[in-house]
Amino acid sequence: MCTLMILPNAIIAGTPRSGTTSLFRWLADHPQVCASTAKETRFLLDRSDPLFQPNCNVHDHGLEAYSSFFPDHGAASAARIRLEATPHYLYQQTACDVLSQMKGQPHIIILLRRPAERVYSSFQYTRHNLGAQLERLSFRQFVDALRRGNRDPSQTPVDGPLVTRELAYSCYVNHLEPWRNALPPERFHLLLFEQLVERPRTVVQSLAERLGIDAAFYEAYDFSRFNATLRVKSPFVQRMTRRMAKVIPAGGLKRSLKRLYLALQQDRSALSRDNDRRFLVELERDFTPFNDRLSREFHLDLSSWQ
């Protein structure tokens, strides 16, 4: 247990498959930012959440254990921003309660992506990056299964937490309201994924100013993307590789093995959505009432979602 409690004062709290990994890396590169050793600490998840971490959580270990993700106390203390990113926090009562009651309330950053596109990205990521057994399932079948309340849309073992709540996760306004009510406006930052992709420098510099760090750092910055969906030749091999990767220590050897693996396993052909375009339009209509409320209640210009 750390004697000096070092807590994050900026958290990327949402949403999955909306550019949170890229934004985390871009902010972490700033000399005035100290990032947590794990991008997703999941420290403030509700105990009932499927991604709950029994070995490190606020319920059993107290807020002091949050410091363990900032082991370099000197660097963390000197940094203007101490950054963490767990995009499932948006959906957690624990995270909202703890962060809103923290002394010197932290900045909460939430990225929002066009709802149907976010669900589609999660479907493709689960199928390819996670190697889940969805290869025989079309996107329409996947969504229909979620609508029926199937815990496992593929009828075979998959990473349940990443798919079972996808539709509700994209009804953003339902989840944003408790956070807005709990935080002062100057600590609550909503960003659109589409704008981040189209104008990363403008968006990140504006955010840097709101966080109180030097925006000029990003004038010549290379905004590389991270954690993008890749297409794999064999989902089975991908599943096995992910399991083995957990026991290989981080370092140069692991990075070299990853490069070799991707050279052999990654299918460089583009992910086609031709068969899914019409259904994506249909699905987007389901989110229209939620998007209208989101635009009206949070004064957001969602024209990029039309």
Tens-digit pLDDT profile for residues 83-120: 999 999 999 999 999 999 998 899 999 999 999 999 99
Same domain, 151 and 21: no
Same domain, 195 and 137: no
pLDDT the model gives residue 157: 36
Q: Among 105, 103, 108, 115, which residue's Cα sits nearest to residue 89? A: 108
Judge if the upstream peptide bond of residue 86 is cis by omega within 30 degrees of 0: no
| Mean pLDDT over the full length of the chain | 85
Token pair for 146: 């979620």
Same domain, 143 and 268: yes
| CA separation for the pair 269, 88 (Å, rounded) | 31
- Residue 4 in any domain: the answer is no
Same domain, 56 and 137: no
What is the domain range of residue 109? 10-114+169-218
- Residue 77 in any domain: the answer is yes
pLDDT the model gives residue 148: 74
Contacts 24+ apart (CB under 8 A), 272-275: 273/120, 275/138, 275/139
- Residue 2 in any domain: the answer is no
- Residue 295 in any domain: the answer is yes
pLDDT the model gives residue 242: 54
Same domain, 258 and 156: yes
CATH number at residue 196: 3.40.50.300
Tens-digit pLDDT profile for residues 152-191: 444 443 445 446 688 999 999 999 999 999 999 999 999 9
Same domain, 21 and 104: yes
The answer to whether the beta carbons of residues 117 and 17 sit under 8 Å apart is no
Contacts 24+ apart (CB under 8 A), 162-167: 162/16, 162/122, 162/125, 162/126, 162/130, 163/122, 163/123, 163/126, 163/132, 164/50, 165/91, 166/119, 166/122, 166/123, 167/119, 167/143, 167/286
pLDDT the model gives residue 159: 41
Same domain, 239 and 294: yes
Tens-digit pLDDT profile for residues 188-207: 999 999 999 999 999 999 99
Same domain, 173 and 86: yes
Residues 32-56: what's their mean pLDDT? 95
- Residue 3 in any domain: the answer is no
- Residue 164 in any domain: the answer is yes
- Residue 139 in any domain: the answer is yes
Residues 22-43: what's their mean pLDDT? 97
Indicate the range of 50-59, 134-143, 199-208 predicted with least confidence: 134-143
Same domain, 280 and 244: yes
- Residue 300 in any domain: the answer is yes
Residue written as token pair 């956070």: 179
Q: Indicate the number of domains in the chain.
A: 2
The answer to whether the beta carbons of residues 16 and 88 sit under 8 Å apart is yes
The answer on pLDDT for 16 being more than 60 is yes
In sequence order, the 6+-apart residues with CB closer than 8 A to the CB of 239 are 130, 131, 132
Same domain, 240 and 109: no
| CA separation for the pair 157, 144 (Å, rounded) | 18
Q: Among 201, 158, 189, which residue's Cα sits nearest to residue 14? A: 189
- Please state whether 155 falls in left (phi above 0), alpha (psi between -120 and 50) or beta: left
Same domain, 77 and 17: yes
In sequence order, the 6+-apart residues with CB closer than 8 A to the CB of 209 are 215
